[in-house]
Structure 1
Amino acid sequence: MRFSVAAALVALSAATSGYAKVMMSKSGGDATYYTPGLGSCGFNNVDTDYIVAVDHATITSFPGAGANPNANPMCGRKMRVTYGTKSITVTVADTCPGCAVGSLDLTPTAFQQFAALGVGRLHGIKWSLL
Protein backbone atom coordinates (compact mmCIF):
# COMPACT_ATOMS: atom_id res chain seq x y z
CA MET A 1 0.00 0.00 0.00
CA ARG A 2 2.80 2.44 0.79
CA PHE A 3 4.28 1.97 -2.66
CA SER A 4 0.92 2.81 -4.25
CA VAL A 5 0.55 5.98 -2.20
CA ALA A 6 4.12 7.00 -2.95
CA ALA A 7 3.60 6.33 -6.66
CA ALA A 8 0.40 8.37 -6.63
CA LEU A 9 2.19 11.27 -4.94
CA VAL A 10 5.00 11.17 -7.49
CA ALA A 11 2.47 11.12 -10.35
CA LEU A 12 0.51 14.00 -8.81
CA SER A 13 3.71 15.98 -8.28
CA ALA A 14 4.75 15.41 -11.90
CA ALA A 15 1.33 16.47 -13.18
CA THR A 16 1.31 19.59 -11.03
CA SER A 17 4.85 20.60 -11.92
CA GLY A 18 3.95 20.18 -15.59
CA TYR A 19 1.72 23.24 -15.35
CA ALA A 20 4.65 25.36 -14.23
CA LYS A 21 6.50 24.44 -17.44
CA VAL A 22 3.73 25.50 -19.81
CA MET A 23 5.17 27.99 -22.26
CA MET A 24 3.04 30.73 -23.72
CA SER A 25 3.59 33.82 -25.80
CA LYS A 26 1.34 36.44 -27.35
CA SER A 27 1.89 39.37 -29.66
CA GLY A 28 -0.09 42.35 -30.86
CA GLY A 29 -1.64 43.32 -27.53
CA ASP A 30 -1.49 46.60 -25.67
CA ALA A 31 0.35 47.55 -22.51
CA THR A 32 -1.04 50.01 -19.99
CA TYR A 33 -0.06 50.72 -16.39
CA TYR A 34 -1.89 50.57 -13.09
CA THR A 35 -1.38 51.19 -9.40
CA PRO A 36 -0.72 47.81 -7.80
CA GLY A 37 -1.64 46.64 -4.33
CA LEU A 38 -2.92 43.25 -3.26
CA GLY A 39 -3.13 41.40 -6.57
CA SER A 40 -5.23 38.40 -7.53
CA CYS A 41 -2.19 36.16 -6.97
CA GLY A 42 -2.17 37.14 -3.30
CA PHE A 43 0.97 39.30 -3.43
CA ASN A 44 1.21 42.88 -2.17
CA ASN A 45 3.12 45.03 -4.64
CA VAL A 46 4.11 48.66 -5.08
CA ASP A 47 4.66 50.94 -8.09
CA THR A 48 8.40 50.23 -8.22
CA ASP A 49 8.02 46.43 -8.49
CA TYR A 50 8.45 44.85 -11.90
CA ILE A 51 5.13 43.01 -11.99
CA VAL A 52 2.39 42.47 -14.51
CA ALA A 53 -1.35 41.89 -14.53
CA VAL A 54 -2.35 39.45 -17.28
CA ASP A 55 -5.63 39.71 -19.19
CA HIS A 56 -8.48 37.85 -17.49
CA ALA A 57 -9.15 35.38 -20.33
CA THR A 58 -5.53 34.26 -20.56
CA ILE A 59 -4.79 33.87 -16.85
CA THR A 60 -8.06 32.11 -16.01
CA SER A 61 -7.72 29.64 -18.90
CA PHE A 62 -4.06 28.85 -18.18
CA PRO A 63 -3.56 25.09 -17.65
CA GLY A 64 -4.12 24.25 -13.99
CA ALA A 65 -6.07 27.43 -13.19
CA GLY A 66 -8.91 26.84 -10.77
CA ALA A 67 -11.37 28.71 -8.59
CA ASN A 68 -8.66 30.12 -6.28
CA PRO A 69 -6.72 32.81 -8.19
CA ASN A 70 -3.96 32.70 -5.54
CA ALA A 71 -3.14 29.16 -6.70
CA ASN A 72 -3.04 30.01 -10.43
CA PRO A 73 0.07 28.41 -11.97
CA MET A 74 0.83 31.66 -13.85
CA CYS A 75 1.30 33.48 -10.54
CA GLY A 76 4.94 34.11 -9.79
CA ARG A 77 6.09 33.17 -13.29
CA LYS A 78 8.58 35.45 -15.01
CA MET A 79 7.55 37.03 -18.28
CA ARG A 80 9.60 38.79 -20.96
CA VAL A 81 7.72 41.82 -22.36
CA THR A 82 8.97 43.45 -25.55
CA TYR A 83 7.98 46.73 -27.15
CA GLY A 84 9.95 47.78 -30.20
CA THR A 85 13.59 47.02 -29.47
CA LYS A 86 13.27 47.14 -25.67
CA SER A 87 12.53 44.17 -23.40
CA ILE A 88 11.99 43.82 -19.66
CA THR A 89 11.38 40.90 -17.32
CA VAL A 90 8.39 41.12 -14.98
CA THR A 91 6.62 38.74 -12.61
CA VAL A 92 2.97 37.73 -12.99
CA ALA A 93 1.17 38.98 -9.88
CA ASP A 94 -2.31 40.08 -10.87
CA THR A 95 -5.24 39.89 -13.29
CA CYS A 96 -6.31 42.69 -15.62
CA PRO A 97 -10.10 42.37 -15.96
CA GLY A 98 -10.36 45.15 -18.56
CA CYS A 99 -7.49 44.03 -20.78
CA ALA A 100 -8.11 42.42 -24.17
CA VAL A 101 -6.57 39.00 -24.80
CA GLY A 102 -2.79 39.37 -25.10
CA SER A 103 -2.74 42.76 -23.39
CA LEU A 104 -1.08 43.57 -20.07
CA ASP A 105 -1.10 46.05 -17.21
CA LEU A 106 2.38 46.93 -15.94
CA THR A 107 3.45 48.77 -12.83
CA PRO A 108 4.42 52.40 -13.51
CA THR A 109 8.14 51.65 -13.13
CA ALA A 110 7.96 48.75 -15.60
CA PHE A 111 5.89 50.79 -18.10
CA GLN A 112 8.42 53.63 -17.94
CA GLN A 113 11.11 51.30 -19.29
CA PHE A 114 9.24 51.60 -22.61
CA ALA A 115 7.66 55.08 -22.54
CA ALA A 116 6.63 57.99 -20.32
CA LEU A 117 3.46 57.45 -18.31
CA GLY A 118 1.77 60.24 -20.28
CA VAL A 119 1.77 57.97 -23.35
CA GLY A 120 -0.76 55.81 -21.48
CA ARG A 121 -1.02 52.87 -23.90
CA LEU A 122 1.50 51.00 -26.01
CA HIS A 123 0.25 49.12 -29.06
CA GLY A 124 1.84 45.97 -30.47
CA ILE A 125 3.63 44.47 -27.47
CA LYS A 126 4.93 40.91 -27.37
CA TRP A 127 5.30 38.74 -24.32
CA SER A 128 6.52 35.26 -23.43
CA LEU A 129 6.49 33.28 -20.22
CA LEU A 130 9.98 32.29 -19.15
Structure 2
Amino acid sequence: YSGDGTYYAPGLGSCGHDNKDTDMIAALNAPQMGSYPNPNNNPNCGKYAKVTGPKGTVRVKIVDTCPPCLSGSLDLSPAAFVKIANLAQGRVNIHWEWD
Protein backbone atom coordinates (compact mmCIF):
# COMPACT_ATOMS: atom_id res chain seq x y z
CA TYR A 1 0.00 0.00 0.00
CA SER A 2 1.06 3.61 -0.49
CA GLY A 3 -0.14 6.80 1.15
CA ASP A 4 0.71 9.50 3.66
CA GLY A 5 2.57 8.79 6.87
CA THR A 6 1.73 11.20 9.69
CA TYR A 7 2.03 11.09 13.48
CA TYR A 8 -0.33 11.74 16.37
CA ALA A 9 -0.53 11.70 20.16
CA PRO A 10 -1.85 8.22 20.97
CA GLY A 11 -4.18 7.57 23.87
CA LEU A 12 -7.09 5.19 24.14
CA GLY A 13 -7.26 3.65 20.67
CA SER A 14 -10.31 2.33 18.84
CA CYS A 15 -9.02 -1.21 19.55
CA GLY A 16 -9.66 -0.63 23.26
CA HIS A 17 -6.11 -0.23 24.59
CA ASP A 18 -4.29 2.75 26.09
CA ASN A 19 -1.19 3.64 24.05
CA LYS A 20 1.87 5.86 24.57
CA ASP A 21 4.00 8.09 22.32
CA THR A 22 6.89 5.64 22.80
CA ASP A 23 4.97 2.55 21.57
CA MET A 24 5.67 1.25 18.04
CA ILE A 25 2.07 1.62 16.92
CA ALA A 26 -0.14 3.09 14.21
CA ALA A 27 -3.71 4.07 13.43
CA LEU A 28 -5.00 2.54 10.19
CA ASN A 29 -6.98 4.74 7.80
CA ALA A 30 -10.76 4.39 8.23
CA PRO A 31 -11.47 2.96 4.74
CA GLN A 32 -9.08 0.03 5.28
CA MET A 33 -9.93 -0.38 8.99
CA GLY A 34 -13.60 -0.84 8.19
CA SER A 35 -16.54 -0.46 10.53
CA TYR A 36 -17.56 -3.00 13.16
CA PRO A 37 -20.37 -2.92 15.75
CA ASN A 38 -17.70 -3.28 18.46
CA PRO A 39 -14.47 -1.64 17.20
CA ASN A 40 -12.50 -3.54 19.88
CA ASN A 41 -13.23 -6.73 17.89
CA ASN A 42 -11.97 -5.35 14.55
CA PRO A 43 -9.83 -8.09 12.92
CA ASN A 44 -7.21 -5.45 11.96
CA CYS A 45 -6.57 -4.69 15.65
CA GLY A 46 -3.25 -6.20 16.69
CA LYS A 47 -2.03 -6.85 13.15
CA TYR A 48 1.48 -5.70 12.25
CA ALA A 49 2.58 -3.55 9.34
CA LYS A 50 6.06 -2.89 7.96
CA VAL A 51 6.24 0.81 7.04
CA THR A 52 8.93 2.40 4.86
CA GLY A 53 9.49 6.15 4.61
CA PRO A 54 12.31 8.46 3.46
CA LYS A 55 14.53 7.67 6.46
CA GLY A 56 13.97 3.94 6.97
CA THR A 57 11.57 1.14 7.89
CA VAL A 58 9.68 0.37 11.10
CA ARG A 59 7.32 -2.41 12.24
CA VAL A 60 4.17 -1.14 13.94
CA LYS A 61 1.12 -2.69 15.58
CA ILE A 62 -2.33 -1.46 14.49
CA VAL A 63 -4.14 -0.19 17.61
CA ASP A 64 -6.37 2.64 16.39
CA THR A 65 -8.34 4.17 13.51
CA CYS A 66 -7.45 7.42 11.71
CA PRO A 67 -10.82 8.83 10.50
CA PRO A 68 -9.39 11.62 8.28
CA CYS A 69 -6.66 9.42 6.73
CA LEU A 70 -7.19 8.36 3.13
CA SER A 71 -6.89 4.73 2.02
CA GLY A 72 -3.24 3.61 2.11
CA SER A 73 -2.28 6.09 4.84
CA LEU A 74 -1.14 5.44 8.42
CA ASP A 75 -0.96 7.73 11.47
CA LEU A 76 2.07 6.65 13.53
CA SER A 77 3.17 7.21 17.11
CA PRO A 78 5.99 9.78 17.36
CA ALA A 79 8.47 6.99 18.27
CA ALA A 80 7.57 5.05 15.12
CA PHE A 81 7.49 8.14 12.88
CA VAL A 82 11.07 9.15 13.75
CA LYS A 83 12.24 5.76 12.42
CA ILE A 84 10.95 6.68 8.93
CA ALA A 85 11.24 10.51 8.86
CA ASN A 86 12.00 13.61 10.92
CA LEU A 87 9.14 14.85 13.13
CA ALA A 88 9.50 18.32 11.58
CA GLN A 89 8.37 16.85 8.24
CA GLY A 90 4.98 15.97 9.73
CA ARG A 91 3.70 14.21 6.59
CA VAL A 92 5.72 11.96 4.26
CA ASN A 93 5.06 9.46 1.49
CA ILE A 94 5.10 5.89 2.78
CA HIS A 95 4.83 2.37 1.45
CA TRP A 96 3.67 -0.40 3.76
CA GLU A 97 2.61 -4.02 3.83
CA TRP A 98 1.12 -6.40 6.36
CA ASP A 99 3.83 -8.20 8.29
TM-score, length-scaled by structure 2: 0.94
- How far apart, in 2, do the equivalents of 1:85 and 1:42 lie? 31
Query: Relative contact order: is structure 1 or structure 2 higher (C-alpha 8 Å, sep ≥ 6)?
Result: 2
* Distance in 2 (alpha carbons) for counterparts of 1:47 and 1:108: 6
1:41 maps to 2:15: yes
Q: For the residues of structure 2 that align with 1:127 and 1:42, how far apart are their CA atoms? A: 24
Give aligned-pair identity as a percent: 48
1:52 is matched with 26
Question: Is this contact kept in 1: 2:54–2:92, CA < 8 A?
Answer: no
For the 8 Å contact 2:56–2:85, the answer to whether it is kept is no
Paired residue for 1:16?
Answer: none
Q: Distance in 1 between matches of 2:52 and 2:86?
A: 16
1:103 aligns to 2:73 (yes or no)? yes
In terms of fraction of residues, the more strand-rich structure is 2
Q: Structure 2: any 5+ residue segments left out of the alignment?
A: none
Greater share of helix: 1
Please state how far the C-alpha of 1:48 moved relative to its aligned partner: 0.2
Task: Please point out which of 70, 81, 104 is paired with 2:40.
Answer: 70
Does the CA-based 8 Å contact 2:33-2:44 persist in structure 1?
Answer: yes
Residue 53 of structure 2 is matched in structure 1 by 83
- Structure-2 separation of matches of 1:52 and 1:85: 17
- Runs of 4+ with >6 A deviation: none
Alpha-carbon distance between aligned partners in 2 of 1:42 and 1:55, rounded to the nearest angstrom: 17
Give the CA RMSD over aligned residues: 1.2
- Rounded Cα–Cα distance in structure 2 between residues aligned with 1:73 and 1:39: 14
Corresponding residue for 2:6? 32
Shift of 1:117: 1.0
Q: Number of matched residues?
A: 99
Structure 1: stretches of 5+ with no match in the other structure: 1-25
